[in-house]
Amino acid sequence: MAPYNWTQNRELLLRMMCGKKLFVCFKAKDLLRTALRHFSRDLSWKQVLGCQIMDPQIAAWLLDPGNSATCFQTLLSKHYTHPVPPTLEPVLGQAKVTQAISNLSLLHKLMLELHNKLRTQGLWQLYSGIEQKMIPVLAAMESYKMHVDKEALKKTSEMLGSKLKQLEQEAHQAAGQKFLVSSSAQLRVILFEKLHLHELCENKKLPKTIKQQQSTSETALLQLQKLHPLPKIVLEYRQIHKIKTAFVDGILSCTNKTFISSTWNQTSTVSGRLSAKHPNFQALPKLPLQISKKQYIQGKNSDVVTVHPRAMFIPREGWTFLSADFCQVELRLLAQLSADPQLLRIFQNPEADAFTMLAAQWKGVSEDTVSLEDREHAKRIVYSVVYGAGRERLSSILGVSAEEAGRFQETFLHTYREVPAFIQDIIQHCHEHGFVKSIMGRRRSLPHIHSADWSLRNQAERQAVNFVLQGSAADLAKMAMIKICSQVSSASYTARLVAQIHDELLFEVEILQLEQFAVLVKKTMESLQHIADLEVNISVPLKVSLSTGRSWGSMCEMNLPCTTTATSV
């Protein structure tokens, strides 16, 4: 065999990254990210954004989002209609070259078959217009190093560890014995066999486990917390334990020196939303956690410490964070798709607060008398109705009786009559065709929609409605990422997209470019109500709120000097 020519292959790879010729790669994002990290002197992230690369894994996921193939052999078995080699295990010598050529040929033929399937099912425009263009966007995000305050994280971890030990002692004292607080089995014995709290719980049906044992879930503990100190202590223990392990220690474990780069997965959800890991940016709590530090000096009040994992993320010197958030995007999509006149009237004023207006309509009062609690209730009620949450679930969220929660839902449905009709239309379409679609044509098949099991069928009906709204919101967020990154790549902006938290995009921006870039972001996102290529026309105006700050946990609202107007993109 000829010796490996590193320089020649390196040049070939760089030409592929920067060129306009289309090529195919399995797990394409990983290739682009690796190239950006290893060839940083010769290859910029802006160049990679123009890369024309196709990935059969993403094509296959679009066809069947509930069953994404994680390896090439599985992908071939599922979608390639011709005979394939029985194994793709590594070989040596000349056979390695032969196998590589064979595999590349298979890769190309597989992509052609997937291309035909996407066209047949009306998914090609979604693939080529959004999902294919997301590959270099995510590779660029993963190649960016975000600053983290590592020392602050370590101090926070130590403080949370001390708090957990304190709560453990309080739990033992309340229970009258030592036990493993994190053990559901041991907690169940104390709550129900020793303390018999279920017998004291009047007029409330406590949840059970699959094995019909008394549950120690959050819902159960919330119902029991007024009967005894232990449930409340356990709830606080669990909350702090989650913050410490999943967020603080989780971020620390992913930190390289003082930098961090998350991994973004394009094919892990059925709704089209992205997911993140190492760390999971999308799970980091938006609001800070207040923790009381016990004082052992008699007569001295306990200190209250604020823990905010998002505050640990800080921009570089001379830079700042900019957050752009689609406001009430799922409610706006509900108004658009249901064509409910009352909901549509709410959005006639693009600057109005939708949930405040919703609460005012629902309660029959003026907007200036709507309290924050009324606004939050209205928000919870509308989403409980749309996503099929029962009155028991809503009652636990709002802290009211199930009867009162049921009346809230009935009043909402009576006021916005086209919403239940819209929900029924989606369910009927799913029963007739076996799938539902987002505004940009994303599909989800729901085989349980025809199940004889009522619970499975009911779940599929809820998932159908959920997908239409969440899948459409995911489409808009992805299109926003693509459009903004495309404009940045062809201009003098240095801003970087660093995270997507569902309806929110987070950028790191040079302070000198902040205002100008913020205008571009807001205008681009709000213009997405009209997308000619994907035949999207939303009459309800999209609204984007901006905030900025010197850490992700200290963001303040940003008001631009003038409003932007929506145009077709």
10-residue mean pLDDT series, the chain (569 residues): 58 78 91 88 87 93 86 86 65 65 86 95 94 95 91 91 92 92 91 85 72 83 86 91 89 86 92 91 83 54 77 93 94 92 83 81 81 84 80 75 80 86 94 94 94 92 93 95 92 93 95 95 92 82 93 91 49
- pTM tops 0.85: yes
Decide: 532 and 495 in contact? Cβ < 8 Å.
no
Predicted pLDDT at 565: 44
Q: Is residue 365 part of a domain?
A: no
Q: Is residue 402 part of a domain?
A: no
Strand residues in 294-387 grouped as ranges (E): 303-307, 313-314, 319-326
Domain co-membership, 138 together with 165:
no
Domain co-membership, 177 together with 75:
no
Q: CA-to-CA distance for 184 and 193, rounded, in angstroms?
A: 13
Domain co-membership, 106 together with 248:
no
CATH number of the domain that residue 73 is part of: 3.30.420.10
Domain co-membership, 71 together with 214:
no
Predicted pLDDT at 564: 45
Domain tally, the chain: 2
Domain co-membership, 190 together with 127:
no
The strand pair at 556-557 and 544-549 is best described as antiparallel
Domain co-membership, 88 together with 170:
no
Which tokens go with 460?
A: 């599929």
Q: Is residue 100 part of a domain?
A: yes
Q: Is residue 368 part of a domain?
A: no
41 is in which domain, residue-wise? 6-143
Predicted pLDDT at 436: 95
CA-to-CA dists, residue 290 to 148, 160, 241, 252, 309, angstroms = 21, 11, 14, 21, 12
Give the domain-ending residue among 143, 172, 201.
143
Predicted pLDDT at 296: 41
Predicted pLDDT at 504: 95
Decide: 526 and 566 in contact? Cβ < 8 Å.
yes
Give the domain-ending residue among 111, 143, 175.
143
Domain co-membership, 30 together with 139:
yes
Q: CA-to-CA distance for 498 and 516, rounded, in angstroms?
A: 18
Give the domain-ending residue among 88, 120, 143.
143
Q: CA-to-CA distance for 8 and 547, rounded, in angstroms?
A: 47
- Nearest of 362, 389, 388 to residue 376 by alpha carbon: 362
Predicted pLDDT at 95: 65
Decide: 465 and 427 in contact? Cβ < 8 Å.
yes
CATH number of the domain that residue 205 is part of: 1.20.1060.10
Domain co-membership, 306 together with 169:
yes
